């Protein structure tokens, strides 16, 4: 039965790959809408309001990078999983800096893609909890809102959950591997650069007084000033 987990908007111009991804997502209980190019995808994202967008970077016309940039510039923080045939760190970092929540490189297992989507939705539907305040930052899990020095901060789903993980235990040093496992739900520690990029994004959004501290060669902690 579909539509139990929410709508996934799948943007992929290679028919065979799109059909395979759609099959696995449907079997996992998702409703799936497919688009083949970036311009139509952007319009459908705004119309359908999907739970997650799976976005191929190498699309004809408006590519995946352009679609994600347009969404984020418009204040739309729908979770995005980038898919690309290029295993290039520059591409991955650029995608994450634009506000992507996760990233998979072709060829990949369709089961892995489904697991990444489930992980994002699991993080964005965490049970309500009390507000947490650390170093001038107020995090509201129920509304999934963050306020820093009195100003609301727009975060991606993954940025929010990374910040929440750090704020649950102020002062504790988390290794990159621990953060990958807890926030992303993956054990591919070769992609620890992903954590660094998201931390950099958080620091940029939280401002110059951001209390996230780098512990050299280990990981990160957040300090209550």
Residue with tokens 């957040």: 222
The answer to whether 147 and 212 are in contact (CB under 8 A) is no
| Architecture of the domain delimited by 7-124 | 3-Layer(aba) Sandwich (3.40)
In this prediction, residue 152 carries a pLDDT of 92
| Integer-rounded Cα radius of gyration of the chain | 17
Q: Is 222 helix (H, G, I), strand (E, B) or coil?
A: strand
The answer to whether 21 and 48 are in contact (CB under 8 A) is no
DSSP 36: S
In this prediction, residue 43 carries a pLDDT of 93
Separation between Cα atoms, residue 83 and residue 77, nearest integer Å: 18
In this prediction, residue 88 carries a pLDDT of 60
pLDDT in tens, the chain (225 residues): 344 568 999 999 999 999 999 999 999 999 999 999 999 999 999 899 898 999 998 898 899 989 999 998 888 888 899 988 765 655 666 667 777 888 888 888 899 899 889 888 876 655 456 788 888 899 988 788 899 988 899 998 889 989 998 998 888 899 888 888 778 766 555 567 788 989 999 999 998 889 999 998 889 999 876
Q: Which tokens is 180 given? A: 């990958």
Widest pairwise Cα distance in the chain: 53
In this prediction, residue 70 carries a pLDDT of 94
Separation between Cα atoms, residue 41 and residue 64, nearest integer Å: 9
Residue with tokens 């995090």: 139
132-222 maps to CATH 1.10.10.10 = yes
In this prediction, residue 2 carries a pLDDT of 40
Q: Where are the domains of the chain?
A: 7-124, 132-222
């Amino acid at each position: 039965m579909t539509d139990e987990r929410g709508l996934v908007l799948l943007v992929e111009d290679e028919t065979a790959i799109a059909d395979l991804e759609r099959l696995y997502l449907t079997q996992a209980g998702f409703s799936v809408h497919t688009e083949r190019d970036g311009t139509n995808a952007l319009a459908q994202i705004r119309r359908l309001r999907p739970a997650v967008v799976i976005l191929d970077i190498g699309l004809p016309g408006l590519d995946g990078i352009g679609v994600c940039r347009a969404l984020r510039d418009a204040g739309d923080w729908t979770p995005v999983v980038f898919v690309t045939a290029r295993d290039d760190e520059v591409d991955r970092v650029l995608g994450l800096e634009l506000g992507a929540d996760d990233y998979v490189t072709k060829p990949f297992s369709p089961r892995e893609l489904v697991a990444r989507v489930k992980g994002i939705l699991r993080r964005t539907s965490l049970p309500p909890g009390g507000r947490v305040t650390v170093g001038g930052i107020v995090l509201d899990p129920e509304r999934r809102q963050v306020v820093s020095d009195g100003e609301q901060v727009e975060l991606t789903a993954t940025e929010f959950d990374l910040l929440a993980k750090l704020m649950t235990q102020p002062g504790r040093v988390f290794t990159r591997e621990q953060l990958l496992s807890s926030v992303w739900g993956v054990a591919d520690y070769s992609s620890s650069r992903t954590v660094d990029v998201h931390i950099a994004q958080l620091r940029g959004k939280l401002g110059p007084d951001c209390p996230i501290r780098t512990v050299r060669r280990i990981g990160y902690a957040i300090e209550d000033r």
